[in-house]
Every structure is written in structure tokens, then in C-alpha cells.
Amino acid sequence: MPKQSLRNMSKTKVVMPEQAPNVRNQNFLEVSLGYTEEMAIEEAKRCLQCKAKPCVGGCPINVWIPEFIKLVAAGDFKGAYDKIKETNNLPAVCGRVCPQESQCEKFCVRARRGEAVGIGRLERFVADWNLANRQVQPEPVPSNGKKVAVIGSGPAGLSCAADLAKLGYQVTIFEAFHVPGGVLMYGIPEFRLPKDLVQKEIDAVKQLGVTIKTNMVIGKVLSLDELTAEGYEVIFIGSGAGLPSFMNIPGENLNGVYSANEFLTRINLMKAYQFPKTDTPVKVGKRVAVIGGGNVAMDAARSAKRLGAEEVYIVYRRSEEEMPARLEEVHHAQEEGIIFKMLTNPTRIIGTEDGWIKALECVEMSLTEADESGRRRPVVKTGSEHQFEVDTVVVAIGQSPNPLIKATTSGLDTHAWGGIIVEEETGASSLAGVYAGGDAVTGAATVILAMGAGKKSAKAIDDYLQSQVSSSRI
Amino acid sequence: MYKIVRKEILNPSVKLMEIEAPYVAKKAEPGQFIIFRIDEAGERIPLTIADFNREKGTVTIIFQEVGKTTKRLGQLAEGDEILDFVGPLGVASHFEGLKKVAVIGGGLGTAIAYPQAKKLHSLGIEVDTIIGFRTQDLIILEDEMAVVSDRLIVATDDGSNGHQGFVTDMLDKCIADGADYDLVIAIGPIIMMKMVSQLTKKYGIKTIVSMNPVMVDGTGMCGGCRITVDGEIKFACVDGPDFDGHLVDFDEAMRRQMMYQFEESEQKETHHCQGKEASNA
């Protein structure tokens, strides 16, 4: 066969099959169905295998993108998986939830004339193929006898723990919830990230020799000092940004008002969508308003629709252009019938006499010229007050780091807004032997950035402990 | 897994269980709580720590069977295990510089008031305990309370045992008779804590109440347990559960507690039917 036939010069990505909008908005099954082997090979052939590899620089953990795609194009999915795994501990997760359009795919040469190569879709395909077709037992790494404690089992903690385990460290993750995974389990819904898949990725991390202890709220059950006393030489804090922000407007404590964290935790972690088969209830009315424009708001709105709400509104104070949510998620939400009320800001939640939500009072906003930070500030249009009837409100305007560890650890420096202050390149905190990364440092960001931070700290922790060994030998 | 090492039936609907949970037992203090989950399909339910034994590594919980989860817990036997048991959560109560305290327990609240009275007593603080129940059959922990109280008053709404009347009547009488309390601790149904707080406000006696709102995680990440204290939003799971009774918005708290009333009754129905099926089989 002539070699030239390997290239696919189509300007657009191979279409990924997905559930039809009016079917999927009635169920919690995954929306995107993923590529078949043929589709994956076809899409992989769109990669030009360019020398500059700008895509790799766009990936926070520098996955060997052209290399793995070349293997996919050749039908060597096993080889492609092993290549991805060299740098990425959770590929089935990243392929699904990374904002590729602003990372790897943003820099793809093919994006100059047409669509970028579907790097995320290919990573996802390879990871899923591996889970379906292979039982990988990682080679046991001889232990170096050094103990590291990781606080939090979200993307940052899992990634840090996996990398350290590969280097021979005895790693124990302490998780406050009853299942590990952090936001992958309680935050991102099943229809975007199936939980059995997350569980399999976590199992793979455990197979590296990582121990995960659940129901361990560090700061309450054990302090950082007590972890040190138990022989952990280094502690990595990956406790995330789990403190919900409220709007501080009247009526926020009415019955039917949820933080997005509570709403999504009930649905995803506690499986309230299966109530009464499961024991945790969730209250979704006929008309639901979700306040905010990020991915969390999209997740909450789409979940509400699936729980039977007739009308679901996204209420956002800026315009669609400024929404921080992924474009793909916004499109999915629109297709599923979510109604977008842009340039609208809630001022008050109005209740019934017995304390339930009746309506949301809002004002209309307009955007000013961009200021020196480049952001267009929303200002209130005078006389634009109006009300609309809703019976459930979900507040999704952001989260900040949980203050529990800070409150119980003296000498740990944090910003006024709660983020742990660390050295950028290593994640080293103000306390010797204590590192931190992910949302606990940056405030709510992305899964992949948290994973990148976990990897960076794992490397720094190894350097730190190695240097201690050599200095103690002198 | 967390093993049930002791089970006692305290009254027709209230049970005591001692659970093996060494990490929780090591740190537990009066005023703190745990969250448990029975099995995979189970919900997370908060219960205040009624007692603990650091040497044995056990924590005692006392619960009333009011819905599906507490009923199912009640059916478990010594030796059985539950899936999750996390704690100690919340802020421990503070007792510095006190001389004489009135501890008020209403119904099941008596179980939560007990470790408080015990701790106060062990610190050499004079403790007057007033516990109230609807009727004689529901009285719990009378003997235990007697041991840790300088004076114990038992009240029943119907007068079937002890004094007839509400705990507020007894407290009012004690204060009127000259008891010089520097703190009142009230634990029980919200309406009772509200009434006690209204009474003590009149006398200017500082009052601590233990709030028990709906919770999910119990670690401050969802705000489901939020209550208004002195006009500000507080999360009972991390800022409490103890709060100044003169500053709590009790009416709002009572309303928020009713949020899942419909679902809870649906659960009870389902549970009841399942029970029937099981006994028919």
C-alpha cells in the first residue's frame, strides 16, 4: 500500500457519535459515545506529525501527543496507551474533561485551516480501548521505605501519589469522603464522566501500591503534625476548592436554594437521581434557575433537566462570549433545551409564606468598555428590575479553598482568599516538607491543571527527599 | 467497615450503639458529631457523639428511629458492621471559666447533653441538669445523668413521672429560686431550644444551643446545613454545631429542617413495605 494514503486532509474532525439531545436529557448516561477503532484511525491520520509539536507545549503535563497519535494511526492502540501513560495517570478522565480547545488543540497546526486534530477524543479512545481490552498489571516498584502522605484524592492528589509510587515511595492518600476521586466523583456528572470509569482509573493508581484511606478528614481526625509523627516525611496537600460561595442576597436561605456543590454532591456522589433506590433525596422543581456561567453551572443545569425540570435557566451577569464554561458544554446544554438568560443578575430570592422559593428578582446588565485588565465590567441597567417564577435555585458562582487544614495548621501561609501560598515551580509551601497543588493553591480551576501541579510536586518531593538522603550520608 | 460492639434499647424508639472507630475515639470531644452511612445505597446522616472511650477505641451514638436510615440502623445487631463512620466533626464545646451551668436536654437531646454534663462535672463545675420527655416511657439516661449532675430534674409533659411540665418551666423556677447560672446549655428539638433561649434572654444568661440541620458532607463543602446567626450565614458543620441561642434564627432553622419532609415520608412508606415483604417471605 502506498504510504501517502495514510494522511486524512479533511478540514473537520471525524464526527464523534453522541446521544440525541432529546433522548439524553432524560437520562444520566454519557452524552458522547466515543470513537470506534475505524474512526480513531481515520482521525489520527489528520495529524501531520509536524516537527515543532506545538500541541505538546499546550498540554499542562506534556503528553507525547504526535507519538501516541502515530501509534493510533498504525492501529497500535496498546502502544499508544503506554505512550500516554508515561506522563498521564488518568487519560480516560483527561480525554473527556480537559478544555482541549484552550490547551493542546489550540496550538495544533491543523487548526490554522480548519479544525484541530481531535487530540482529546483520541486520548479518550485509547484509554477506553485499554480499559476494555487489557488487564494491565504494573511492574511492582521496589520500595525505598520512605513514607509520603497525600491529603485529598482528587486529580492533584492522585497524580502526585501515582508519580511518587512509581519512584518507590510508600504513599498513603487521606480522603475525607467515603469514596476517592474528589471532584471527579462528586462534581462532574455521570453524563460527562462515567463514575465506573473514574473508579477504574483510581484502581490503576492503587495497583501502583498507593494506599487510599477514606473517611479521614485531615485537620479533624489527624493534624499535619500527627501525620509527621506517624512517619510521613513529606505531606502533599491537594484538598481542592470545596468551599461554596453564596451571593449574599436576601432569600438565599429559603427552602429550595442549593449551592452547586450540594446539588451536585447529592446527585453524583450520593446518586440522588436514583432515589428512592438510593437513600439521598434531592429537590428539583418545575422551573430551575442556575446562577453562574462556568462548567459547574452547566453541569447543574443539565442535571436539573435530567431530573425532570420543565424549564431550566442559566442566569449569567455577563454575555455568552464571557462565559468561562467550555464551548462544547454550552452547546450541549443549549441542544438539551437549557434556556440562557444572559446579562442578568439576581438581586433577591422571593419566598412563599412557608419559606419556599417563589421567584427570582433580577436586574438587566450591560457591559462597559474593556478596562485595563481586558475585562468588560457589567453594570446595572436602571429600571430593569423584573421577576420570574422559579421553584429551585442553584448557586454556581464559584468555590474557594476549604479552610479546614489552614485553620488547624500553624505556620501554613495562605492568601486572604484562602489559597495556599507555594513556590510556583515546586509547590513547596511555607512549611518544610509540606507541598500543595491544584485548586487548594489556585482556587477553582481545571482537572488537568491540578494534575500538572501534582506531577510537578511529585518531582520536587523526590528531589527534596533524595537531597536529604545524600546530605545525611555526608 | 465499623463494627457495632454494643447495642442497647433505651426506650421504644431510641437505641444506643457503641461503634469501633479508633481514630474518631482518639479525638472526640463533647459537642462534636459523626456522619455515618450504612451501605452503598445509603445516605450520610449526622449524629452527635454521646460518649467515647479512647482506650477501647469506641464511640457511642444514641439515635431515635425517625426514618428509613435510623430504622435500618436500629435493626442491626452487635457484631454487625456499617460502611462509613467519619469524625469527629464540628467544633468542640468550650467550658473555660465557668462556675455553675444548667444543662437542658429535651427528648433525644438528652443523649447529646449527657457528654456535656459529664465533661462539666469532671471539670468541677456545678451542674444542674433538667431533662424533659413527653411521657414516662420515653425517659432515657436518667441514672447516667444523675451521676454527673449536682442536681437532676426530670420533667414529663404529662406528669407521668417526675415534675409535670416543660423544661422551660423548671428552668424558670430554678432561676427564680436564685440559681446563679453563668451558662445554660440547651439541646433538643428546635422549638424547645428557641423557648429556652427566649427565657434566658430575659434574664441575660448566656445560652448555647446545639443545632441539628440537614447535612450532607459535614466538612463545610456544601452549605446544606447553613443557618443564620446574628444576621450572618454560618455552616453548622464547621462553625458549630454549638451557637449562641440568643443570636440564632430558629424559625428559619425549623423551616429548613422540613425541606425533605415529603421525601422522608416516601422513604418511610417504602421501607415499611419492604419490611412487610420480608416478614411474609
Tell me if B174 is assigned to a ligand binding site: no
Contact A262 B216 (CB under 8 A): yes
Average pLDDT over residues A373-393: 91
Spatial strand order in the sheet of B242-244 = B163-164, B151-156, B126-133, B100-106, B183-187, B207-210, B242-244
Q: What is the mean pLDDT of residues A225-233?
A: 95
The CATH number given to B100-257 is: 3.40.50.80
Helix B190-203, helix B167-176: angle, nearest 10: 20
Terminal Cα distance for chain B, rounded: 29
> Phi, psi (5° rounding) for residue A139?
-65, 130
In this complex, which of A178, A222, A248 lies closest to B84 when CB atoms are compared? A178
First-residue to last-residue Cα distance in chain A: 62
Chain A residue numbers with beta carbons less than 8 Å from the beta carbon of B263 are: 275-276, 281, 283
Percent with pLDDT over 70 in chain A: 97
A220 and B221 in contact by Cβ < 8 A?
A: no
Contacts of B220 in chain A (CB under 8 A): 242-243, 402-404
Exposure class string for B222-237: b at 16+ Cβ within 10 A, else e:
bbbbbbbbeeeebbbb
CB B36 within 8 A of CB B84: yes
User: Helix or strand or coil: residue B95?
Assistant: coil
B interface mutation test: which of A217, A227, A264, A408 has the most B CBs within 10 A?
Answer: A217
* C-alpha–C-alpha distance, residues A228 and B161, integer Å: 54
Query: How many CB atoms neighbour CB B56 within 10 A?
Result: 13
Contact list in B for residue A183 (CB cut-off 8 A) is: none
Cα–Cα dist B191/B180, whole Å: 25
Cα separation, B106 vs B166, in Å, equals 9
Give me the interface pTM, i.e. the ipTM. Answer: 0.90
Q: pLDDT digits over A260-275, tens only?
A: 999 999 999 999 999 9
CB contact under 8 A, B86 and A215: yes
What are the start and end residues of each CATH 2.40.30.10 domain in chain B?
A: 2-89
Does residue B237 have a known ligand-binding role? Answer: yes
Torsion angle, alpha carbons of A193, A194, A199, A201, to 10:
-50
How big is the A-B interface in CB pairs under 8 Å?
110
Summarize pLDDT for A327-357 with one digit per residue, the tens. Answer: 889 999 999 999 999 999 999 999 999 899 9
Q: With bands split at pLDDT 50, 70 and 90, how would you rate the model's confidence at A428?
A: very high
Enumerate helices (H) and strands (E) in chain B, giving the number of each. 9, 16
**Backbone CA torsion sign across B204, B210, B214, B217:** positive
Task: List CB contacts (< 8 A) between A291 and chain B.
Answer: none
pLDDT of residue B267: 57
**pLDDT means over runs of 10, chain B (281 residues):** 96 93 95 95 94 96 92 96 96 91 95 94 96 91 94 91 90 92 96 96 96 92 94 93 96 92 65 37 29
Q: Is A159 left (phi over 0), alpha (psi -120 to 50) or beta?
A: alpha
Quick one: chain A helix, strand, coil %, rounded to 5?
A: 40, 20, 45
Chain A residues with beta carbon closer than 8 angstroms to that of B226 = 253
Look up residue A396 and give its DSSP letter. Answer: -
Inspect the interface and report whether the beta carbons of B41 and A403 lie closer than 8 Å.
no
CB contact under 8 A, A220 and B27: yes
d(CA A463, CA A65): 27
Residue of A nearest to B70 (CA): A279
Q: In angstroms, what separates the C-alpha of A256 from chain B's closest C-alpha?
A: 8
**Residue B86 pairs with which residues in a beta bridge?**
B35
Dig out the grid coordinates for B71 from the structure. 430504622
Binned at pLDDT 50, 70 and 90, residue A42 comes out as: very high
Distance separating alpha carbons of residues B255 and A251, to the nearest angstrom: 13
Cell 459529664 sits at which residue? B118
User: In the predicted model, is pLDDT for residue A142 greater than 70?
Assistant: yes
Q: How confident is the model at residue A371 (pLDDT cuts 50, 70, 90)?
A: confident
Q: Are the beta carbons of B69 and B46 closer than 8 angstroms?
A: no
On whether any CB of chain B is under 8 Å from the CB of A177, the answer is yes
Domain with CATH 3.40.50.80 in chain B: 100-257
Q: Nearest by CB to B89, which of A220, A243, A262?
A: A220
- According to the model, what pLDDT value does residue B276 have? 35
Q: How many Å apart are CA A260 and CA A268, to the nearest integer?
A: 11
Contact B217 A222 (CB under 8 A): no
Closest Cβ opposite residue A283 in set B42, B88, B259: B259
What pLDDT, on a 0 to 100 scale, did the predictor assign at position A473? 53
Of residues B82, B266, B96, the one with CA closest to residue B183: B96
pLDDT of the residue at A5? 55
| Nearest residue in A to B89, CA atom | A220
Report the residue from B220, B258, B260 with minimal CB separation from A404: B220
| Amino acid B268: pLDDT | 55
Q: What is the pTM of this model?
A: 0.93
> B124 to chain A nearest CA, in Å?
27
> What is the structure's pLDDT at A266?
96
Mean pLDDT of chain A: 93
B166 assigned binding-site residue: no
CB contact under 8 A, A276 and B267: yes
Query: B163: distance to nearest CA of chain A, Å?
Result: 35
Cell numbers linked to A172: 498513603
Spatial CB neighbours of B99, under 8 Å, sequence gap ≥ 6: B125, B126, B182
- The hierarchical CATH code for the domain B2-89 is 2.40.30.10
B261 labeled binding residue: no
Q: Which of A265, A275, A277 is opposite residue B222, by nearest beta carbon?
A: A265
Closest CA to A110 of A5, A11, A7, A4: A11
The cell numbers describing A357, all together, are 422559593
Q: What b/e readout covers A191-204, taking b as 16+ CB neighbours within 10 angstroms?
A: bbbbbebbeebbeb
A53-94 residue pLDDT tens: 999 999 999 999 999 999 999 999 999 999 999 999 899 999
Nearest CA distance, A369 vs chain B (angstrom): 35
The tens digit of pLDDT for each residue in A460-472 reads: 999 999 988 666 5
Contacts of B266 in chain A (CB under 8 A): 276
Backbone torsion region of residue B278, taken as left when φ is above 0, otherwise alpha when ψ lies between -120 and 50, otherwise beta: alpha
Nearest CA in chain A to B237: A404
The residue with greater pLDDT, A237 or B136, is A237
Residue in B with minimal Cα distance to A352 = B255
Nearest by Cα to A315 from A359, A355, A352:
A359
Query: Is B222 within any annotated ligand binding site?
Result: yes
Residues B52 and B60: beta-carbon distance below 8 Å: yes
Q: What is the pLDDT of residue B275?
A: 36
Cβ A246–B223 below 8 Å, yes or no? yes
Q: Which residue of A has its CA nearest to B33?
A: A220
Q: Measured between beta carbons, which residues in chain B are less than 8 angstroms from residue A404?
A: 219-220, 238
- Domains belonging to chain A, first-starting first, are 21-133 (1.10.1060.10), 147-242+401-472 (3.50.50.60), 243-398 (3.50.50.60)
Q: Tell me how far apart the alpha carbons of residues A294 and A99 are, in angstroms, rounded to a whole number.
A: 12
Contacts of A392 by beta carbon, 8 Å cutoff, 6+ apart: A256, A257, A258, A283, A284, A285, A287, A288, A289, A304, A309, A357
pLDDT category of residue A1 using cuts at 50, 70 and 90: very low
pLDDT at A437 over 90: yes
Interface test with B, best of A178, A243, A263 (most B CBs within 10 A): A178
